[in-house]
Structure 1
């Protein structure tokens, strides 16, 4: 069973022993390869995420749908079968713009959802 070298050594290390110098060069090359692979993976993930992303801007008075997590759906609309419940609820009216993607919504009186929400889709 081969042991994997520990990569947490300081980058600037000099030694008079040739084996240690070779190890440090190999370690540095391995770390560079790992960093490059991680950077490529991050860029690929970013490209796929941005491929489907759209910028949406809403105005006060617009009607929008709200995307809710399954445990929050019961406070907005009662469903007999939660497995088949809707993904988006609404439409709800925008009362005020709070941030870049956060809006204050006019929700039903009995709902247990915070009135300031990030909007997922429009009507």
Structure 2
């Protein structure tokens, strides 16, 4: 039977201690990673629920806008205010240079502007 020298014993004990320390640190790392995965999954679930709610609201608003822009609805809004023109009616229109592609009506009839910032929607006529 051979006896181990004290240096060999110390090296063996040091090796065993290092293996125990590595095993314990790896176990703690795995637990920490599982917790991080769980937190990320719950946060993702919350974000997906928020996204689904936002998409649902947008779809509802798109549906409302589409409904309000139906010709029947628009005709119903102006039904009492408009009348057909008569043959004897004369309409005078001032000639004015129109804006490029999009023109928005402002205070006086037939005046246009390219900037909605100039439009006063609450103006009394």
Q: TM-score, normalised by structure 1?
A: 0.34
Larger radius of gyration: 2
Larger RCO: Structure 1 or Structure 2 (Cα < 8 Å, ≥ 6 residues apart)? 1
Q: TM-score, normalised by structure 2?
A: 0.34
